Structure 1
Amino acid sequence: MSCRFLKIKVSKQFGLGGIHMERQVYLIGGGIASLSSAVFFIRDGHFPAKNIHILEELSITGGSMDGSGDAQNGYVIRGGRMFDEEAYTCLFGIMDSIPSLTDPQKTIKDEFIAFNEQIKTSGQARLVDKNHQKVSVEKLGFDRSHRLAMLDMMMVPEEKLGTKRIDEWFPPSFFDTTFWYMWATTFAFQPWHSAIEFKRYMHRFIHELPRINDLSGVRRTPYNQYDSIILPITRWLEQQGVDFHYHTKVTALAFAPNTPKETVTEIDCLEDGVAKKIAVNEHDLVLVTIGSMTSAFSLGSMTEAPTIHRYDHDGAWTLWEQIAKDKPHFGRPEVFDRRIDESLWESFTVTLHDKQLLDKIIAFSGNEPGTGALMTFKDSGWFMSIVVPYQPHFINQPEDTQVFWGYALFPDRKGDYVNKKMTDCTGEEILHELLGQLGWLDAKEEITKTANVIPCIMPFITAQFLTRTGTDRPQVVPKQSHNLAFLGQFAEVPDDVVFTVDYSVRTAQTAVYQFLGIHRPITPIYMGQYDVRVLLNVVKTMMKDDSMTMEFNLAKRMLGI
């Protein structure tokens, strides 16, 4: 296995020897990036926890890593999370330091490992066609033009791809391959998304190509992402003495005039609706999570469709816009938050009080809950997928209740069994479409009686995949910054892949290590494309389609053979 360390220029201005007990750290946003930053400050920087302040707009931590609701009113998971053993090393490093809520002698990583040793993923119904039949996924469906375009993309530098879309690199037939149906729904790619982001995913997850047909490389948390990761981290930070401020919306940062580097001097915020100013001293640090995938989300119900909020941004977007105004080195938020027709999709969470539907899914798929992969209805107008997690999926979930999740990449199109756009559909209508895709409409009345489907529209959910230039996302710690860092999915980490938890955690580690002068390498990014064993497995998978003489020659060039 080959890895490459992410190299950063360590700043000496905030070196460990110069840390003063009065220095303060302000983490704006309460998602995984800020929570991880706090852990790194305390664990690796030996920073006083009481001097760390987390300012969160909502009443709860976690950001986009959520899991809420109850059996009576229905559960909600806005987005699903899958984890990869090779690629998620930054996150696992955090999890290895956080004690379990149920057994303080174990970490949440220990729980994670034990769970995945017991519950292993091996999906038996990855794709389903319009005739309600499982589709063979042994082959990728590539022809020579697809493979050559893929190899060429992996070899070409990002600068050459520029702002190209995926569909500007591959021929139209590529988007009708078994590979695309599986890869696109696993990672939520659209044909109009950035070719650079697609290239990065091919490098970072190339080891998953031979097992994309059953997702046997996927690891999952014992419960939903909030209960299994966010809640234990939050509890640990509270116990250390970290200062949490909820219902606190940061509206602006003020900068010192005429300084060699941009220096934050004040944080303007609304705390419980009351305007407040926080003075920031020269040696204090401000780390801001910019942008939000789940900003302006809207929930529906069994009887009401959710609403699309086109111009309703939360603090993570408006603050970035304020910070970056007249400061191009702080990024260009308008590249990501003004194109929701390219970034929107819709998810839905199904809460069941009768096992009939779950039993039918188990019998059809051949998978018990937690062992299956995404089940994608490849011919569906909405391009819909579902996944059934291990039960219970919530800590407070009763034994007689089941929960599963689904989403659709084309919610602006009409369904095959409901003649409406998904975005216009109620939860009951989405359930109707799902049962139609499975061929079970005859059981609809009985199933609907005890089902609760909550749809969720997220206008910015794939905004980080949109086409961009190399400077549209700011560096984690810009060269022009004295005490300001950017965290999350819209800060730039070379070679890494957005839309992963690990990306947010790596931005946190990068910022903390650079500001505190921690002379330790950042957790390495997995680089499977340099591992001969990985490449051999990929070649074997691709050879199932046909001969690959030309591709072998290109691969030799890539490896320098």
Structure 2
Amino acid sequence: MEKSNMAKLLVLGLAATAAGVAAKTLYSRTGKARKEKRSIDKKNSTIPKGKAYFVGGGLGSLAGAAYLIRDGKMPGNQITIFEGMPIFGGSNDGIGTPEKGFVCRGGRMLNEETYENFWELFRSIPSLGNPDRSVTDEILDFDHAHPTSAKARLIDKDGNILNVKSMGFTQSERMALLRLMNTPEEKLDDMTIEEWFADMPHFFTTNFWYMWQTTFAFQKWSSLFEFRRYMRRMILEFSRIDTLEGVTRTPLNQYDSVIRPLEAYLRKEGVVFAENCTVTDIDFAEVEGITAKVLHLNDLGITRTLELEENDICIMTNACMTDSATLGDLYTPAPAPVLKPISGELWSMVAAKKQGLGNPYPFFGDISETNWESFTVTSKGNRLLKLIENYSGNTPGSGALMTFKDSSWLMSIVVAAQPHFVNQPMDQTIFWGYGLYTDRLGDYVKKPMKDCTGEELLTELLFHLHMQDHKDEVMADVINVIPCMMPYVDAQFQPRKMADRPEVVPDGSTNFAMISQFVEIPEDMVFTEEYSVRAARIAVYTLMGIDKKICPVTPHAKNPGVLLKAVQTAYR
């Protein structure tokens, strides 16, 4: 590559930050104005008089409760979290038993350099195993002791581990990516990735696309907004996408490593956890602006209402990506989901009552575009994991996604460090995988992925690993293979207009906010732990008038060294 061309690309990359900076400035100004408009000045109160109600018990709500206690000085017993399920944590799951097998619906990729508010919050949360240490310290110490460096990122149909150091771009594809990073988001309403590369079908056969797609679960029809934000926010990962060395691993699954210590902290502080209690509707005051007044509850089948008082606040999870998920087992496919997303329905109802609360339809309108299926394998002993280790060159926990690029389901697997569950016996091993194309027939099991039993999913995997000769001995060790169908797991990536996602605290709100992967936070990227935590922090600080800085998005896309490395990677 000529130096003049490299310099040109570098300048273009530096210029690409302008639109994002402007959006962030506008957002901070509107947030400041909104605080000034509030009729109740909570900053002047040592102990807040009102109560806080969280709708949904995922990471965002738990983080919001922690911020209220730590920075809002609200007593825990003034905070209630409503959750329709019997367990908290939302999409951060990790459940099961040694007898029936374990389940990971997916894996959350953490990142030490980009999850600014996540790490800051969890420095305040004590580890369950060692209360003198924080969860942040516990995770980072474990990760530094178990660094990731994938040696088998892409595998072809013949079982060959591919050399993926080159991204495989043509010059026109490189320039198209740079143009995208320079294009203001307001010009990208409703556009898909495929539309941007419409005259470049080769782009979707590059090493880059297979690795980027399966690392973050993008589809060709995913939102160009989100693809652009990922390219900017995760530009550090662009230069190491072939090894995924930037992935930060938790000691156990994210439920055990993240949710359980956070929940324990909140319970110790007196927070009220109302499980099996669904908020079915929210009424607003019939005045100008947005003031939540009444929550309608279904509490274990009993309907009741809760009226908010003058100083109360309500923070609602407006949608959940794992809504309506179903589980199968070794001999049973995951049942077809009942397409009635509880969180999405509530969002629809409140959005119809007040302007500025977004539009759920683009996200929940087409499950053929938003579903994929995962599966978790639990085995006696480590026979299968040893076979995978010998094949991949990675010990459990040192690798990352192994993607079978020619798989009709586009299947990938991840083998974490063992044990992966707090109650997992030392003589059991687990790993999980997923496929993005559930309607297609398998290459060896001639059924759509969504119709396959756990045994059939594992059989398909063994053929892609070219380990079919070991099938009988592997199956003899298997305790369970649990398929999980998730109809809306990619919903946050759907093409949309800028206005379809509401602001965390909508204009005119006095006591109401929304948090989830379906709210709008300029410059940040959805489908991450950081997005949930950042949304919660914005909601709490804005509604409570807390004059404390929220960790900004680290501007890696402005860093000349990072940009130069990205340019060099594009030309490898």
Q: Indicate the TM-score class for this superposition, using the shorter chain for normalisation.
A: over 0.9
Partner amino acid for 2:556? G
Which of these residues, 317, 327, 330, is aligned with residue 299 of structure 1?
327
Which of these residues, 261, 281, 290, is aligned with residue 232 of structure 1?
261
Matched, 1:519 2:540: no
**CA apart distance, 1:277:** 0.8
Runs of at least 5 residues in structure 1 that lack an aligned partner in the other structure: 545-561
> What does 1:523-542 align with in structure 2 at a 5 Å threshold?
523-542=551-570
Alignment size in residue pairs: 542
Query: For residue 33 of structure 1, what is the aligned residue in structure 2?
Result: 60
Query: For residue 411 of structure 2, what is the aligned residue in structure 1?
Result: 384
The answer (yes or no) to whether the contact 1:298–1:309 under 8 Å persists in 2 is: yes
SS of residue paired to 1:428 = helix
Query: For residue 461 of structure 1, what is the aligned residue in structure 2?
Result: 489
SS of residue paired to 2:132 = coil
Distance 1:271 1:415 in 2: 43
Deviates more, 1:392-401 or 1:303-312: 303-312
Matched, 1:103 2:130: yes
Where do 4+ consecutive residues of structure 1 move more than 4 Å?
Answer: 1-6, 18-21
Distance 1:61 1:94 in 2: 18
Distance 2:49 2:239 in 1: 53
**CA apart distance, 1:282:** 2.6
Matched, 1:437 2:437: no
SS of residue paired to 2:387 = helix
Query: For residue 470 of structure 1, what is the aligned residue in structure 2?
Result: 498
Query: For residue 70 of structure 1, what is the aligned residue in structure 2?
Result: 97
Give aligned-pair identity as a percent.
44
Query: For residue 363 of structure 1, what is the aligned residue in structure 2?
Result: 390
Partner amino acid for 2:410? F
The answer (yes or no) to whether the contact 1:30–1:55 under 8 Å persists in 2 is: yes
Matched, 1:159 2:186: yes
Matched, 1:174 2:203: yes
The answer (yes or no) to whether the contact 2:409–2:442 under 8 Å persists in 1 is: yes
Which of these residues, 238, 248, 251, is aligned with residue 280 of structure 2?
251
> What does 1:252-291 align with in structure 2 at a 5 Å threshold?
252-257=281-286, 259-291=287-319
Matched, 1:7 2:35: no
**CA apart distance, 1:310:** 5.0
**CA apart distance, 1:520:** 2.0
**CA apart distance, 1:48:** 1.6
The answer (yes or no) to whether the contact 2:50–2:310 under 8 Å persists in 1 is: no
Distance 1:138 1:256 in 2: 58
Superposed CA offset, 1:483-503 (max 9, x none): 110001111111110000100
> What does 1:283-432 align with in structure 2 at a 5 Å threshold?
283-309=311-337, 311-314=339-342, 316-432=343-459
Query: For residue 47 of structure 1, what is the aligned residue in structure 2?
Result: 74
SS of residue paired to 2:499 = coil
SS of residue paired to 1:268 = strand
Query: For residue 479 of structure 1, what is the aligned residue in structure 2?
Result: 507
The answer (yes or no) to whether the contact 2:94–2:104 under 8 Å persists in 1 is: yes
**CA apart distance, 1:482:** 1.7
**CA apart distance, 1:374:** 0.4
Distance 2:60 2:568 in 1: 38
Query: For residue 218 of structure 1, what is the aligned residue in structure 2?
Result: 247
Superposed CA offset, 1:6-54 (max 9, x none): 7252314343114764311101111000000001111111112111111
Distance 1:355 1:267 in 2: 50
The answer (yes or no) to whether the contact 1:7–1:522 under 8 Å persists in 2 is: no
Runs of at least 5 residues in structure 2 that lack an aligned partner in the other structure: 1-13
SS of residue paired to 2:80 = strand
Superposed CA offset, 1:240-287 (max 9, x none): 111111110001111111x12121111110111111111101321000
Matched, 1:493 2:521: yes
Distance 2:310 2:173 in 1: 54
Partner amino acid for 1:96? R
The answer (yes or no) to whether the contact 1:263–1:282 under 8 Å persists in 2 is: no
Partner amino acid for 2:62? L
Partner amino acid for 1:7? S
Distance 1:229 1:34 in 2: 13
SS of residue paired to 2:500 = coil
Distance 1:528 1:249 in 2: 40
Superposed CA offset, 1:42-70 (max 9, x none): 11111121111111111111000000001
Query: For residue 225 of structure 2, what is the aligned residue in structure 1?
Result: 196
The answer (yes or no) to whether the contact 2:450–2:485 under 8 Å persists in 1 is: yes
Distance 1:327 1:102 in 2: 46
Distance 2:450 2:532 in 1: 29
Deviates more, 1:445-454 or 1:193-202: 445-454
SS of residue paired to 1:276 = strand
Matched, 1:139 2:160: no
Distance 2:547 2:284 in 1: 29
Partner amino acid for 1:262? I
Superposed CA offset, 1:55-103 (max 9, x none): 1111111000000001210100111111111111111111100001111
SS of residue paired to 2:236 = helix
SS of residue paired to 2:305 = strand
Partner amino acid for 2:408? G
Query: For residue 85 of structure 1, what is the aligned residue in structure 2?
Result: 112
SS of residue paired to 1:302 = coil
Matched, 1:206 2:224: no
Distance 1:169 1:346 in 2: 27
Distance 1:173 1:277 in 2: 56
Partner amino acid for 2:525? V
SS of residue paired to 1:251 = strand
Distance 1:244 1:209 in 2: 41
TM-score (norm. length: structure 1): 0.95
SS of residue paired to 2:259 = helix
TM-score (norm. length: structure 2): 0.93
Superposed CA offset, 1:169-222 (max 9, x none): 012110000000000000000000001110000000011111000001111100
**CA apart distance, 1:308:** 2.3
Deviates more, 1:440-449 or 1:302-311: 302-311
SS of residue paired to 1:471 = helix
Distance 2:336 2:141 in 1: 41
